[in-house]
Amino acid sequence: MDFSLTESERDLVGLCREFAQKEIAARAPLAWEEARCPTDLLREMGGLGLLGMLVPEEWGGVGMSTVGFVAAMEQIGLADQSVAAAWQAHVTIGSLPLYLFGDDPQRERWLRPLAEGRSLGAFGLTEPDAGSDARGIRTKAERRDDTRELYFDDVWVADDHLIGDPSMGLSQFLSTLEVGRISIAALSLSLTQAVLDMATDYARQRVQFGQPISKFQAVQFKLADIATELEAARWLTYRAASLRDTGQPFLKEASMAKLKASRLAVVAASEAVQIHGGLGYMLDSPVARFYCDAKVLEIGEGTNEIQHLVIARALGC
């Protein structure tokens, strides 16, 4: 399969790489230490036109292919997972429902500011008693004259705020997660690449028993396994993205990519910490920060248990 990018997409990926290396890598660790969302970085990404990746130009975006978006995600996630996670959520589940199911006035009112980086999008799914069981969500809407009430705190929603067909709410809701799974897979690729780079660099520098630990077969095999599995996960992810770009079904492939890549990210982060030894367990070390960010990849956009179910059903089980 051909995963080649257009010239404009290569330029955008290059822009992501440059911003990630110069700005995100330098500033995001402080935001992590302070336990805050680095909205300043996200705002600057919006100014660069990076918040409307998958939205067509007519609605303020750049109309990038899914394959191009995956390539861009790999660059952002290499620098920091928290920024990348917020960014991908905005680009996919925070924006695409408006594009896919909204009408033109709604797209103009809400999608354009999201795509142009003037607002940040979010997606409400989880409740205390509902997560993987999306049908168990208790938040309901009741028609009362021209409004609908959401069970928050006296929040009223007018008819022109309703997105899509009210009889298709759940299916529309869940279909948005399909591209989000490709995005999480891409985020997982970037984490695995980041910790592999860190572990390899450290292994070359760390000397024990008179030689760098990279010379010991036990360490070499860990790195070799991670690198091999990363290439396999990368092909799964780009194939799922390519299927979406060509208008083919990609539900099973997106779940496979998310399952494979997220499991690998967790294992790779753990092995990278192991290679770093005690230094890797200290929270002020970069590899520990990525280790802390790994586990959520097996949970977000549908837990890996749900991915197993999606794949099994696609197989006819």
Residue 55 sits in the same domain as residue 155: no
- Does 90 lie in the same domain as 159? no
Q: Residue 41 above 70 pLDDT? A: yes
Position 278 in a domain: yes
Q: At residue 129, does pLDDT exceed 90?
A: no
Residue 225 lies in a domain: yes
What is residue 281's predicted lDDT score, i.e. its pLDDT?
92
Q: What is the mean pLDDT of the chain?
A: 91
Q: Are residues 178 and 238 in the same domain?
A: yes
Dist. CA 152–CA 159, nearest whole Å: 18
What is the rounded CA–CA span in Å between residue 255 and residue 250?
A: 8
Any domain includes 121: no
- Report yes or no on whether pTM surpasses 0.95: no
The reply to whether 87 and 150 lie within a common domain is no
Q: Are 288 and 273 in contact (CB under 8 A)?
A: yes
Confidence of residue 186 (pLDDT cuts 50, 70, 90): very high
Same structural domain for residues 82 and 32?
yes
Average pLDDT over residues 160-176: 80
pLDDT tier at 267 (50, 70, 90 boundaries)? very high
Q: Residue 172: its pLDDT value, please?
A: 81
Decide if 109 is inside a domain. Answer: yes
**What is the CA angle 213-218-220, rounded to 5?**
70
Residue with more model confidence, 198 or 128: 198
Unique residue bearing structure tokens 């995001």: 28
Query: For 28-39, what is the mean pLDDT?
Result: 91
CATH of the domain at 306: 1.20.140.10
* 182 shares its domain with 306: yes
Is there a domain that residue 127 lies in? Answer: no
Residues 245, 206 within the same domain = yes
- Tokens representing 69 are 């978006």
Give 273-288 pLDDT, tens digit per residue: 999 999 999 988 999 9
Domain presence at residue 224: yes
Catalytic residues: 301
Does the pLDDT at position 203 exceed 80? yes
Q: In this structure, what token pair is assigned to residue 6?
A: 């257009």
Does residue 245 form part of some domain? yes
Domain shared by 42 and 68, yes or no? yes
What range defines the domain where residue 145 resides? 134-164
Count of C-beta atoms within a 10 Å radius of residue 288: 18
Average pLDDT over residues 84-92: 94
Q: Is residue 74 part of a domain?
A: yes
The CA angle 310-306-163, to the nearest 5 degrees, is 80
Angle at 271 between CA 205 and CA 215, to 5 degrees: 35
Query: Which residue in 113, 36, 41 sits closest to 79, CA to CA?
Result: 41
Task: Indicate if 159 and 232 belong to the same structural domain.
Answer: no
Residue by residue, DSSP assigns 160-194 as GG--S-GGGHHHHHHHHHHHHHHHHHHHHHHHHHH
Number of domains in the chain: 3
* Residue 20 belongs to domain with CATH number: 1.10.540.10
Which has more confidence, 150 or 121?
121
Percent of the chain with pLDDT over 90: 76
C-alpha 193/C-alpha 175 separation (Å) is 29
Q: Residue 163 pLDDT > 90, yes or no?
A: no
